[in-house]
Structure 1
Amino acid sequence: MATAANSSAEIDKLHAEISRLETDFYENVNSFFLCSMALIIFFMQCGFAYLEAGAVRSKNTTNILIKNLLDSCICIIGYWAIGWALAYGESGDGVNLFIGHSQFFLSGFSDYPKFFFQYVFSATAATIVSGAVAERCEFVTYVTYCSVISTFVYPVLTHWAWSDNGWMAKGITSGGIDTKYDDFAGSGVVHLCGGSISFLAAWCMGPRIGKFPIKEEDESDEILGHSVPFTALGGFILMFGFLAFNGGSVASISNAGDGHTVALAMINTILSGSFAALIYLAAHYYQHGKWTLLLTINACLSGMVAACAGCNKMEPWGCMWVGVGAGLLYLALSKLMIKLKIDDPLDAFAVHAGGGFWGLVSASVISRGGVAYALVGVVGGAENSGDHLTQAFAIGKLRVSEEIEINGLDVFKHGEMAYPLRAYGHGWHDFERVNKFNAFSAKITVGEGKNARIMKIHPEMSIEQLASVYDRSGNVIPTSKKSRTLFTNEAERKKSAMMKMHDENQL
């Protein structure tokens, strides 16, 4: 009897050990899955950096790159200290419907894979805005809005929509109707949030100098980004990142059916982006007779943004609805911003707010349990189809000064040119004239008081100044008074005045 009892105890102990090992294994597998997906999503910061750098002028490249770098650094500190607690920290009854208020600085919390995954989402939401205010946003203003979005705005929205206790996540239950906020990977929480802030920021900041004609000026030349390859590379990186952004939102890989859902989300994401890209490309060619690359990339991204809401429970055929709608809405909103004279260099509002809004609408229409399925159920006479149909329908110092904006933020704010002219020299006697004749170098003071900067002017001209001279010399526009003007917009006149003042100081 003793031997049998000992044997039974050993078997129970063995079962307990196997169960523990099984639990640890699944926990490690899920943690590895979350961390792997989070690393790919974090790589989207590189995509944003290339996309935005290519879409701005070369004189502002350093400025936009350091902002993308600091997005990640500022967000992790703010989200670690406060953001996580507001998003997922436990709270008392009632209050917890709207905000969490525990686990500040991750006190008493150790689910680090989940924290890291949520952090990269927060960083994405904050990064969206930087493109909308590119080339004119004061650095302190950028630091402020980046901190506020990642520390307060995004975490509170996350709590409402994704925390088990959030008021939108709980939804409204009445009889057989149970209506909840449905946003699988953040069409609304991440992208509509960032896109809406982008609209307000671009509107408050005002357009870049020379973007739109003033009063009776001639139509301004289009402000072009300096590198199409950079923009294209950034777009491809973001497309790659979106597959993890949506597929990783399953948050586990060890449960039955998790792999299927991850693959479905990824397929729906790339399909939606493709439909959006192709419909936009066709529409643009019909209007302008050109096959645009840059705007097609934006349209593709808007389709992927739209897929975020329902990619986990949407059949692939529904991607036609999601993608085509997102591409056309991006086209409409992009043109609307121009008509309203709101300058959004990266089309952040049209891509993220437009795509995010359409994604939420699509999820409630063509996802399983949405309006389309409810209507089919009514027509087919399905049980409780009536209930399903009912449920389915259920300002301060913001920007830099004119002189800094015209000449670029890179040198004045960072002291580092993205493309130094000296780096393109032939290597022979580049510096002899400067060293030999002191008159060929000068200094100019920009700004006032403690913000003043001393900038050394070398005899060679900047690339922008050189291009401007060639452009003016070959584009003299006759006026009605038989006189000639060298400038077509306010920005050129202001830049000329600054150069003239510098020449007078030399004398």
Structure 2
Amino acid sequence: MGTLPTGSAFDAAVGSQPMQGPDPPASHYAFSPDDAGQLLTYSTFIFLQQVGFAVLESGSVRAKNVRNILLHNIIDKLICGVCYWALGFAFAYGDTKWGIIGTSNFFLGANFSRDTALLWFTSFMFLLTATTVVSGSLAERAQFEAYVAYAPLMAVVVYPLVVHWAVNGWLTTFAPKCIYLDFAGGSTVHLLGGVAGLVGAWMTGPRLGRFNGPEVKPIVGHNVESIALGTFLLWMGWYGFNIAPAYLRGTERSSIAARAAVNTTLCGCASALTALAATWWRSGLYDLRVCCNAILAGMVAITAICPHVDPWGAFLLGVIAGLVYLGCSKLLLHLRIDDPLEACAVHGGCSLVGILGVGFLARPDYIQEYRGTDKRICGGIFYAGHDGWQQLGVQALGAVVIIVYTGACSLALFGALHRAKRLRVDQATEIAGIDNIDHRGPAYPDFVIASHE
């Protein structure tokens, strides 16, 4: 979450009254008819991001692996849908146990209501984004079974618990003055997906020929048109991602939505222009792929804070995100970690820009507009002074906890798959192309493959 459930992103609106305090369990949500319609519309709109991911990822891999990456993009929706219905939603939005895990609404509960259905559907959209991020990091060399095993881990163990902590668990209550803030999934979607992708890429190892001693060999995707089109589709879906939470609570929903839309646009533009200019200054070239990834990096960076900051702050965060994206991408290559879609840099690295940016640039009056009568509101250091330092500390703690927990779960799964020799395809399959061995042949006619391989 582009954007989905995170902290404040899943506060419900009860009638027309602003809600106070942390988000309630699923059984206590009661959306007004207008909010329910907006929520359903924007949640459906978010699914465009899945189209964007499929187009972007298929264009970013070589032609011999297109069927494989597209099947990855489909199978995680199927598995996550069933697992999140049965267990994940209950762990995320059920009645809290010690602020750690939800314990009700398994299989959506006995009293299945409109409001529970809306909350499940919206949060499911955010889960899909977090899960799909990892498919790019594993592209072109992971076994299909490994990705099948990863999807339920995300839907049942990782995403639901992180969301629970940030929505109505311990992260919302432990600080005396400040509540953890993540408007639309900067931490529960993008940081989580980026960290899982980083662990997966490291454990799977680089593609054959990617590194030769100190030399880094470019392995370019087969269709640059798909990369650009996928970026536009993700950009379009991001408006749903970052606007939808505005209709979950607050006294001025249209104002909150408008700020989120403007700031999402500005941050993406600033990030892309910064990265494009920095790349030109360093190499003398205008790199389309850098431009596209930097657009996404900026939108990742603004996700956690999009309605809580002024436009100049969004622009500043975008400039920082563009530089962070380039720095993280270079660092991964220095560490010999091969991430074909640069998902770790885009989603993992740049999500921290927005999560920590809350502690500097979030305006208390904008937060109050969204949080209603909630008394534990600090804002960023630029506006709240001493209280801003506590807000920054809360944000940093939340980020560290999510990184450690997601990293540990991912390491356990990918490590087990590696030991069982079920993580990576064999060398012959990788050279021939996964499509040719596992998926009944290539996605394109032979002459197309020959021209790109």
Deviation at 1:317, TM superposition (A): 1.1
Equivalent-residue separation in structure 2 for 1:408 and 1:43 (angstroms): 28
Number of the residue aligned with 1:488 = none
Superposed counterparts of 1:460-499, under 5 Å: 463-464=449-450
Residues 1:49 and 2:54 are matched in the alignment? yes
Deviation at 1:416, TM superposition (A): 3.9
Equivalent-residue separation in structure 1 for 2:218 and 2:389 (angstroms): 49
Q: Is the 8 A contact 1:171 1:181 kept in 2?
A: no
Q: Is the 8 A contact 2:380 2:389 kept in 1?
A: no
Q: What's the CA shift string for 1:209-243, capped at 9, x where partnerless? A: 1111159xxx4642110000001100001111111
Equivalent-residue separation in structure 2 for 1:26 and 1:188 (angstroms): 25
Deviation at 1:26, TM superposition (A): 7.3
Instruction: Give the aligned residue type for 2:382.
Output: A
Q: Matched residue of 2:208: which SS?
A: coil
Q: Which of residues 300, 306, 310 is equivalent to 2:295?
A: 300
Q: Which of residues 153, 166, 170 is equivalent to 1:167?
A: 170
Q: Is the 8 A contact 2:62 2:452 kept in 1?
A: no
Q: What's the CA shift string for 1:106-147, capped at 9, x where partnerless? A: 013422111100000001100000000100011110001111
Residues 1:230 and 2:226 are matched in the alignment? yes
Instruction: Give the aligned residue type for 1:406.
Output: I
Q: What's the CA shift string for 1:233-254, capped at 9, x where partnerless? A: 000011111111011012348x
Equivalent-residue separation in structure 2 for 1:392 and 1:313 (angstroms): 13
Equivalent residue pairs, number: 383
Instruction: Give the aligned residue type for 2:167.
Output: W
Deviation at 1:28, TM superposition (A): 2.5
Deviation at 1:180, TM superposition (A): 2.0
Equivalent-residue separation in structure 1 for 2:423 and 2:335 (angstroms): 20
Residues 1:127 and 2:137 are matched in the alignment? no
Equivalent-residue separation in structure 2 for 1:309 and 1:317 (angstroms): 16
Equivalent-residue separation in structure 2 for 1:26 and 1:99 (angstroms): 23
Instruction: Give the aligned residue type for 1:365.
Output: F
Q: Matched residue of 2:47: which SS?
A: helix
Q: Which of residues 14, 29, 32 is equivalent to 1:27?
A: 32
Q: Is the 8 A contact 2:180 2:391 kept in 1?
A: no
Superposed counterparts of 1:245-284, under 5 Å: 245-252=241-248, 256-284=251-279
Q: Which of residues 274, 283, 291 is equivalent to 1:288?
A: 283
Residues 1:184 and 2:183 are matched in the alignment? yes
Equivalent-residue separation in structure 2 for 1:467 and 1:306 (angstroms): 34
Q: What's the CA shift string for 1:60-117, capped at 9, x where partnerless? A: 00000011011211111111011100001114xxx24000111111013422111100
Instruction: Give the aligned residue type for 2:265.
Output: I
Number of the residue aligned with 2:433 = 408
Number of the residue aligned with 1:106 = 108
Q: Is the 8 A contact 2:179 2:391 kept in 1?
A: no
Deviation at 1:420, TM superposition (A): 2.3
Number of the residue aligned with 1:449 = none
Percent identity between the two aligned chains: 40
Equivalent-residue separation in structure 2 for 1:119 and 1:392 (angstroms): 28
CA radius of gyration, larger in: 1
Equivalent-residue separation in structure 2 for 1:324 and 1:467 (angstroms): 35
Instruction: Give the aligned residue type for 1:373.
Output: Y
Residues 1:243 and 2:248 are matched in the alignment? no
Runs of 4+ with >6 A deviation? none
Number of the residue aligned with 2:85 = 80
Higher relative contact order (CA 8 A, sep 6+): 2
Deviation at 1:389, TM superposition (A): 4.6
Deviation at 1:43, TM superposition (A): 1.4
Q: Is the 8 A contact 1:374 1:392 kept in 2?
A: no
Change (3 A) 1:26 1:120: closer
Equivalent-residue separation in structure 2 for 1:346 and 1:64 (angstroms): 12
Equivalent-residue separation in structure 1 for 2:431 and 2:355 (angstroms): 40
Number of the residue aligned with 1:355 = 350
Residues 1:196 and 2:195 are matched in the alignment? yes
Q: Which of residues 71, 74, 88 is equivalent to 1:66?
A: 71
Tell me, which stretches of 5 or more residues in structure 1 are unaligned?
1-20, 376-385, 425-461, 469-507
Number of the residue aligned with 1:399 = 424
Q: Is the 8 A contact 2:187 2:355 kept in 1?
A: yes
Equivalent-residue separation in structure 1 for 2:388 and 2:49 (angstroms): 39
